[in-house]
Amino acid sequence: MSLLIIGGTGTLGRQIVLQALTKGYQVRCMVRNFRKASFLKEWGVELVYGDLLRPETIPPCLKGITAVIDASTSRINESQSLKKVDWIGKLRLIEAAEAASIKRFIFFSTQNAGQFENVPLIKLKYGIEIKLKRSTVPYTVFRLTGFYQGLIEQYAIPILENLPIWVTNESTNISYMDTQDIAKFCLRSLQIPQTTNQVFFLGGLKGWVSSEIISLCEQLAGQEANVQQIPLVSLKFISKFFGFFEWGQNVSDRLTFAEILNSQDSLSESTFDLYKTFKMAPTEIIQLDDYFLEYFIRLLKRLRDINFEDVQKQKNLII
């Protein structure tokens, strides 16, 4: 089976690429910058130029492809391209997939898609889900929550650098997941015919509130966090009027995230069915505590090495 992966340079995409190669799939990635994607070529991927903003570049990428895995999304720093990439680009991609008789199209949506008309990305994601359902392409949609990887920037780094962590007064329970596990589900769906034309809510087994994540990081870092509590209502006000401050982007991102995830989704019951469908044992899933533990061990070792190198350099200077 030959795969076209879009977004292979991204956080989730690169995990899918790595696992697909390990499983022996032929992997092609549609990339818009060969230099940036050179690591994928080193892994053994075929790179083809393509840009969702340039529809004429899409059909050549699909030649000889069995399944498309779309892990792309507009980059935060290219915010004007949100509608162009996550809507227009994806519509052209689905049309091209129909024309190329693609056997499976995997799309990553977000939790609670269909409920937040006021959040542009969520609205576009839901729109694409509908387009896929109406298309002739066999699809699988995964509605995702947050990634473990995003928590490093959100909690671990601010604690280590003594920067403020903004939390709301809401105790939102979020079942974050490691992108390595999302990649496992994604590739497994290609082998399970019952997952065709289905939408799955994909979440980890445990829900976490921000205070739990903060105390976990505090323990591992051996440092206290600088937590700034702010009511959700004030956060809305602040993000609207002070969005141009350095921390404005962070605050408004967090607000959107808190709003979207604040409504409880049907996690518990459906999660167990989901793991059964995908023949995935809960023990196979990477737990957040283990993920953070590994991160801090690696980081602290790196800091010790740097410290050791500095001491050696200073000794050499003295000699």
Ligand X SMILES: NC(=O)c1ccc[n+]([C@@H]2O[C@H](COP(=O)([O-])OP(=O)(O)OC[C@H]3O[C@@H](n4cnc5c(N)ncnc54)[C@H](OP(=O)(O)O)[C@@H]3O)[C@@H](O)[C@H]2O)c1
Whose CA is closest to 220, among 153, 160, 147?
A: 160
Phi, psi angle pair for 113, to nearest 5° = -60, 140
Instruction: State how far the alpha carbon of 115 is from the alpha carbons of 131, 145, 155, 168, 318, in Å.
Output: 17, 14, 27, 21, 65
Interface pattern 138-167 for ligand X (x via CB under 6 A): ------x-xx--x-----------------
- The residue count for binding ligand X (CB under 6 A) is 26
By CB under 6 A, tell whether 52 contacts ligand X.
yes
Instruction: State how far the alpha carbon of 107 is from the alpha carbons of 68, 129, 133, in Å.
Output: 9, 8, 11
What is the 8-class DSSP label of residue 111?
Answer: T
By CB under 6 A, tell whether 73 contacts ligand X.
yes
> In the bound complex, what is the minimum distance in angstroms from residue 74's beta carbon to ligand X?
5
By CB under 6 A, tell whether 250 contacts ligand X.
no
Tell me the β-bridge partners of 166: 228
Residue 104: exposed, middle, or buried by beta-carbon count in 10 A (0-12, 13-18, 19+)? buried
Whose CA is closest to 273, among 208, 175, 202, 178?
A: 202
By CB under 6 A, tell whether 253 contacts ligand X.
no
Q: Are 70 and 107 in contact (CB under 8 A)?
A: yes
Distance of CA 277 to the CA centre of its chain: 22
By CB under 6 A, tell whether 7 contacts ligand X.
yes
Q: Are 256 and 122 in contact (CB under 8 A)?
A: no
If you count DSSP H runs as helices and E runs as strands, how many of each does the chain have, helices first? Answer: 14, 9
By CB under 6 A, tell whether 114 contacts ligand X.
no
> Which range binds ligand X by CB under 6 A, 67-75, 130-138, 154-162, 204-212?
67-75
By CB under 6 A, tell whether 53 contacts ligand X.
yes
By CB under 6 A, tell whether 79 contacts ligand X.
no
Q: Are 202 and 266 in contact (CB under 8 A)?
A: no
By CB under 6 A, tell whether 172 contacts ligand X.
no
165, HSE (Cβ side, Cα atoms, 13 Å)? 25
By CB under 6 A, tell whether 75 contacts ligand X.
yes
> Which range binds ligand X by CB under 6 A, 70-78, 162-170, 226-234, 297-305?
70-78
By CB under 6 A, tell whether 49 contacts ligand X.
no
By CB under 6 A, tell whether 36 contacts ligand X.
yes
Out of 3, 4, 12, 137, point to the residue binding ligand X (CB under 6 A). 12
**Token pair listed for 3:** 């795969």
The residue number whose beta carbon is nearest to ligand X equals: 10
By CB under 6 A, tell whether 203 contacts ligand X.
no
- The one-letter amino acid code at 256 reads T
State whether residue 193 is helix, strand or coil.
helix
Task: Rank residues 51 and 170 by Cβ distance to ligand X and give the closer one.
Answer: 51
By CB under 6 A, tell whether 63 contacts ligand X.
no
> In the bound complex, what is the minimum distance in angstroms from residue 147's beta carbon to ligand X?
4
By CB under 6 A, tell whether 33 contacts ligand X.
yes
Out of 108, 116, 166, 201, point to the residue binding ligand X (CB under 6 A). 108
> In the bound complex, what is the minimum distance in angstroms from residue 14's beta carbon to ligand X?
8
* Of residues 82-101, those binding ligand X (CB under 6 A): 85, 89
Residues that bind ligand X (CB under 6 A): 6-7, 9-13, 32-33, 36, 51-53, 71-75, 85, 89, 108, 110, 144, 146-147, 150
